[in-house]
């Protein structure tokens, strides 16, 4: 009887010990879900590629790419991709199954191709304007109406001015390696409670195509006096949870909201591991963050 009791006690003790170990192992194995915050990602030593895309699908058009590292970012203008003399928009599918180095190499190639395409388009426009002038001269020589001659001459003069402007741009411009921009300040605008960060505004000094946007989150890079009028403004209206597109997952921020206050494009997104990543607006005590 004593042996039976002893066996039962020992079995119970072993069972409780194993159970306790399993609980501790469960706690030890539990990992925090990865998080994505714009500034936290930008200031890392590892570079990150962001895509400015009009829609979150495989054929979403990517107009620009941004490479961030150590609090800096570099903007690349992707334009269109060319294959066998066929020009098509750059899409997320172009970067599918490519590692970071392959993606960066492709982005740089597309940026250079886009510059070359723009120069070529300016040369073609010069030819168009020259043909226009020839046609206008013939029209002018074929009329005796003085008022008509003056109107035609005005058109010719405008085309000549445009041709000179294009020639000047072509002669003075050249493609160069993109320079990175240092982010100096981020303004965080909160809601009425003072606790929640509302949509974000980002400003760079690359160009002014989005400078009309006025959003409450501002990233101000280093600028010289000549750069102050060439700022790009990003608008982060909402966070975007990871979405599976082809063989990868993309997450980031939406730049607008639709009528139902749901995220709407364009989007600034980056590749993440899987759907476990949670996306947030920046917050915290980093000196670069200024909460209003």
Is pLDDT larger for residue 180 or for residue 96? 96
Which pLDDT band holds residue 261 (cuts at 50, 70, 90)? low
What percentage of the chain reaches a pLDDT higher than 90? 40
Asked if residue 133 has pLDDT above 70, the reply is yes
Provide the whole-model pTM.
0.72
Domain extents for the chain? 1-30
What 3 state SS string does the chain have? CHHHHHHHHHHHHHHHHHHHHHHHHHHHHCCCCCEEEHHHHHCCCCCEEEEEECCCCCCCEEEEEEEEECCEEEEEECCEEEECCEEEECEHHHHCCCCHHHHHHHHHHHHHHHHHHHHHHHHHHHHHHHHHHHHHHHHHHCCCCHHHHHHHHHHHHHHHHHHHHHHHHHHHCCCCCCCCEEEEEEEECECCCCCCECCEEEEECCCCCCCCCCCCEEEEECCCHHHCCCCEEEEECEEEEEEEECCEEEEEEEEEECCCCCEEEEEEEEEECCCCCEEECCCCCCCCEEEC
| pLDDT more than 70, % of the chain | 69
Read off the pLDDT band of 264 (50, 70, 90). confident
What is the pLDDT confidence band of residue 218, given thresholds at 50, 70 and 90?
very low
Does residue 184 surpass a pLDDT of 70? Answer: yes
In this structure, of 31-35, 106-110, 174-178, 249-253, the range with the lowest mean pLDDT score is 31-35
């Amino acid at each position: 009887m004593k042996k039976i009791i002893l066996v039962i006690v020992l079995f119970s003790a072993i069972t409780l010990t194993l159970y306790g170990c399993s609980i501790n192992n469960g706690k030890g194995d539990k990992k925090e879900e990865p998080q994505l915050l714009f500034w936290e990602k930008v200031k890392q030593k590892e570079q990150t590629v962001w895509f400015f895309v009009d829609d979150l699908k495989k054929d979403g058009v990517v107009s620009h790419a941004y490479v961030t590292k150590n609090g800096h970012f570099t903007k690349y203008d992707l334009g269109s991709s060319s294959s066998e003399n066929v020009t098509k928009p750059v899409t997320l599918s172009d970067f599918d199954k490519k590692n970071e180095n392959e993606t960066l190499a492709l982005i740089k190639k597309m940026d250079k191709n886009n510059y070359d395409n723009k120069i070529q388009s300016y040369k073609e426009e010069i030819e168009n304007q020259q043909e226009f002038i020839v046609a206008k001269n013939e029209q002018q020589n074929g009329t005796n109406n003085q008022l008509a001659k003056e109107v035609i001459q005005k058109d010719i003069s405008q085309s000549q001015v445009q041709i000179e402007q294009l020639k000047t741009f072509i002669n003075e411009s050249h493609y160069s390696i993109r320079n990175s921009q240092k982010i100096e300040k981020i303004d965080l605008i909160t809601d009425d409670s003072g606790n929640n960060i509302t949509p974000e505004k980002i400003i760079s000094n690359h160009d002014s195509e989005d400078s009309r946007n006025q959003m409450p989150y501002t990233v101000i890079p280093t600028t010289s006096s000549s750069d102050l009028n060439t700022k790009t403004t990003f608008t982060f209206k909402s966070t975007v949870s990871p979405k599976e597109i082809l063989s990868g997952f993309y997450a980031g921020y939406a730049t607008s909201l639709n009528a139902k206050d749901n995220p709407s494009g364009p989007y600034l997104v980056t590749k993440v591991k899987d759907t476990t990543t949670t996306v947030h607006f920046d917050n915290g005590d980093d000196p670069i963050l200024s909460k209003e």
